[in-house]
């Protein structure tokens, strides 16, 4: 009988949880915005871990500036974070960390706004559409 979760999925979940705590408590770089780890994906051979983040800009930073600065800071701290993860997670080889910006949140916002605008246009075009009986009775 197959297992419900693969080992790489369990390792990715543990890395995501531990990395969130490490970033919050250990990295004190002022260029780092409010970083949230949205997803972690580990390769089958446990050689690499792709970490997807979202960033909330701090102060007068634009979103793209905050993303670039945060990715740079996390890229520079990847060795430190990997070593700290290795202390808490007992693996023969700790995956190398690669950080990426998660664009799925922005795509979701854009799709939501498109659906909202289409709904608003439809409701303005035919205001009695909600009151009609679908079977025409």
Higher pLDDT, 36 or 137: 36
Q: What average pLDDT does this structure show over 92-115?
A: 89
pLDDT confidence of residue 16: 94
**Which long-range CB contacts under 8 A does 71-80 form with residues at least 24 apart?**
71/99, 71/100, 71/101, 72/31, 73/27, 73/29, 73/31, 73/32, 74/23, 74/27, 74/32, 74/35, 74/99, 75/99, 77/27, 77/29, 80/26
pLDDT, average across residues 71-94:
91
What is the rounded average pLDDT of the residues 20-47?
89
Kindly state the average pLDDT of the residues 2-15.
Answer: 83
pLDDT value, residue 97:
93
Proportion of the chain above pLDDT 90, given as a percent? 39
Query: Encoding tokens for residue 63?
Result: 């979103």
Q: Which domains does the chain have, with CATH numbers?
A: 7-102 (3.30.300.20)
Q: Write out pLDDT tens, residues 109-125.
A: 889 989 998 888 888 87
pLDDT, position 84: 92
């Amino acid at each position: 009988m197959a297992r419900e979760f693969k080992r790489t999925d369990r390792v990715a979940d543990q890395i995501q949880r531990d990395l969130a705590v490490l970033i919050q408590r250990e990295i004190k770089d002022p260029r780092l915005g409010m970083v949230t780890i949205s997803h972690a994906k580990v390769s089958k051979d446990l050689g690499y871990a792709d970490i997807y983040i979202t960033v909330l800009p701090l102060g007068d930073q634009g979103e793209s500036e905050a993303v670039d600065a945060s990715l740079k800071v996390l890229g520079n701290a990847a060795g430190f974070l990997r070593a700290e993860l290795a202390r808490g997670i007992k693996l023969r080889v700790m995956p190398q960390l690669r950080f990426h910006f998660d664009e799925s949140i922005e795509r979701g916002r854009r799709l939501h706004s498109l659906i909202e605008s289409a709904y608003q246009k439809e409701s303005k075009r035919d205001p009695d559409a909600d009151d009609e009986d679908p079977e025409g009775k």
